[in-house]
Amino acid sequence: MATRGDKRTRLVKAADKLVQRQGYHATSLADIAAAAGVPLGNVYYYFRSKEALGDALIGQRGEHYRARRATWDREPDPKTRLRAFVEMTVENSTLLARSGCPIGSLCQELHKQGGPLAEAASGMFAEFLDWLEMQFRALGKGAESRELAVHVMSALQGATLLTHSFRSPRYIESEARRLKAWIEAL
């Protein structure tokens, strides 16, 4: 049901889903309000502007990924944690083929104009890069760790963009196979 939970939560959830599918600019507050079962005018009781709702959306998305990484951190082996990250992308490949990466596509769109919302979106990237770097440090890679983190993130983001552009999971699958072999050989 679109009408479960309090209205603020429903608005953020609806915004999250619609922005992922349609993009930030292409999603109107009327779309979001309708999907959340909230009258348009009432949106402004909870959020002073579309940007404020966007910020809440990014906050929730960031929290989602933090929780995800926390479950991976329970694994004792850093290589297992890295594999889990790659595997997440493979598992989501159907969704990624339809709408692209929730982080990457939002950054791409928002950074064309810049502003605080764009910075908030790249924050999600920064957190993932920091987490990846930590895994490589745990593997004893030292100063090289940041570069290795950038490599993993780049390969997956690029493959996700191709998967989105051709609407086929093939590209993610191909790069994931390669990355998993590369992790094994580290």
Which residues are at the interface with DNA (CB under 7 A)? 7, 27-31, 38-42, 44-45, 48-51
- Helix (H) or strand (E) run with residue 160 in it: helix 145-165
171 binds its own copies (CB under 8 A): yes
Q: How far is the CB of 161 from its own copies (least distance, A)?
A: 5
Among 109, 131, 135, 136, binds its own copies (CB under 8 A): 109
List the single partner that 166 binds among its own copies, DNA, none, CB under 5 to 8 Å by kind: its own copies
Q: At residue 129, what is the residue type?
A: L
Any idea which residue has 């933090």 for tokens? 66
Any idea which residue has 């004792």 for tokens? 76
- Classify the phi-psi angles of 167: left when phi > 0, otherwise alpha if psi is within -120 to 50, otherwise beta: left
Q: How many residues bind its own copies (CB under 8 A)?
A: 39
Q: x/- binding map, residues 37-76, to its own copies, per CB under 8 A?
A: ----------------------------------------
| Tokens representing residue 16 in the block | 């999250």
Q: How far is the CB of 8 from its own copies (least distance, A)?
A: 26
Cα-to-chain-centroid distance, residue 80: 20
First to last CA, the chain: 46
- Select 51 or 127, whichever has its Cβ closest to DNA: 51
- Select 50 or 83, whichever has its Cβ closest to DNA: 50
DSSP reduced 3-state for 43 = helix
Q: How far is the CB of 169 from its own copies (least distance, A)?
A: 12
> What does each C-alpha distance from 41 to 7, 30, 105, 149 come to in angstroms?
13, 9, 29, 44
List the single partner that 171 binds among DNA, its own copies, none, CB under 5 to 8 Å by kind: its own copies
